[in-house]
Structure 1
Amino acid sequence: MRIPPLGFRLLYRLRKAYWRIVKPTTHGVQALIIHPVDSDRVLLVRHSYGDKFRWRLPGGGYKPARETPEQAARRECVEELGVELAPLALVLEEHRTTSGGRSGYLTIVRLHALSDEVSPNGEIAEARWTAVDLTDLPGDPVVSTWVHSALTAHALAR
């Protein structure tokens, strides 16, 4: 069953209210996905909820008792983008975060795509392969701080 973009926007608002009340510790993961042929291209997304104009890395939340950050990154990318990924994953960065009434942990994982084909679900408004210097994003793009951080860590890990 596909959830329409409106459903994701409603769930996003409910989750923000929950965080303000309960203040849980969260665990999130974001994936820097490298193009299968051109290692100077990465996959960025715009979500259909929240800040819909900001380019981000794909990812989401996970429960450490159930899966590793690498497993969570792979699961999120398959769910959100239907992208085929190589088995190797590398943790690029780990951060302690505070935002929107919650505190948590964010892990950024590098994965390599096996194909440049993507099939975004309703959570994703747009997915785009872009140069690591971000110069081919359309217009005057707004890009997440985590994208810049991941690209810097990726350059250092090469």
Structure 2
Amino acid sequence: MRVPAILLRAGSPFLQLWWRIRKPTTFGVKALLRLPDGRFLAVRHSYADTRRWALPGGGYKPAQETSAEAAAREIHEELGLVIPPDAFQTLSTTITTLEGKHDTLTILTAFAAEDQLHLSPEIAEARWVKDLQELGDGPLSKWLLSALK
């Protein structure tokens, strides 16, 4: 089920407040996608901080799928790209409380075979770039910066 971007934006503050109260344990993935020509993908989400350039990704349940399977699913849902789970390599796994929850976040990377994207309502904008300067002066996600190290 696709949720319209306006509902994602409206619900985001309530979800973040709920996380701060409940402090749930969650699992998430972020994916650094690359093209053979050296470009990588940065996205701006349509909810939360819509100015921040970040990595695509989302949540998952480890009992139901691996982090690589979750990354492949999220990439397909958000961007319309088909990347098999075995194409992903883990860059890092971090435990964070950044959003008020106890989140185990895995950052993975994979090469995309094509650069044609079909954005879901979760993604406000996506750009294939060679360096961060091409994204302008907007804020950058700490996970995007970490993945590019």
- In which range does the TM-score fall when normalised by the shorter chain? over 0.9
Question: Cα RMSD over matched residues?
Answer: 1.4
* Aligned AA (2:126): A
* SS state at 1:21 partner: helix
Identical amino acids, percent of aligned pairs? 48
Question: Unpaired segments of 5 or more residues in structure 1?
Answer: 153-158
2:69 to 71, 88, 110: 71
Provide the TM-score with structure 1 as the length reference: 0.87
* Aligned AA (1:102): K
Please list, as runs of the form range in 1=range in 2, the aligned pairs for 1:67-146 lying within 5 A after superposition: 67-86=65-84, 87-131=86-130, 133-137=131-135, 139-146=136-143
* Aligned AA (1:130): V
Provide the TM-score with structure 2 as the length reference: 0.92
What is the CA-CA distance between 1:17 and the residue it aligns to? 2.5
> What whole-Å deviation, never above 9, does each CA across 1:21-56 have from its counterpart, x for those lacking one?
211011110000011x31x21111001111100000
> What whole-Å deviation, never above 9, does each CA across 1:68-91 have from its counterpart, x for those lacking one?
110101101100110132541100
Question: Unpaired segments of 5 or more residues in structure 2?
Answer: none
Instruction: Give the structure 2 partner of residue 34 of structure 1.
Output: 34
Instruction: Give the structure 2 partner of residue 149 of structure 1.
Output: 146
Contact between 2:45 and 2:125, CA under 8 Å: does it hold in 1?
Answer: yes
What is the CA-CA distance between 1:99 and the residue it aligns to? 1.9
* Aligned AA (1:56): A
Higher strand share: 1
Instruction: Give the structure 1 partner of residue 21 of structure 2.
Output: 21
* Whole-Å separation in 2 of the counterparts to 1:60 and 1:88: 18
> What whole-Å deviation, never above 9, does each CA across 1:76-116 have from its counterpart, x for those lacking one?
11001101325411001111101232112110011111111
* Whole-Å separation in 2 of the counterparts to 1:17 and 1:114: 39
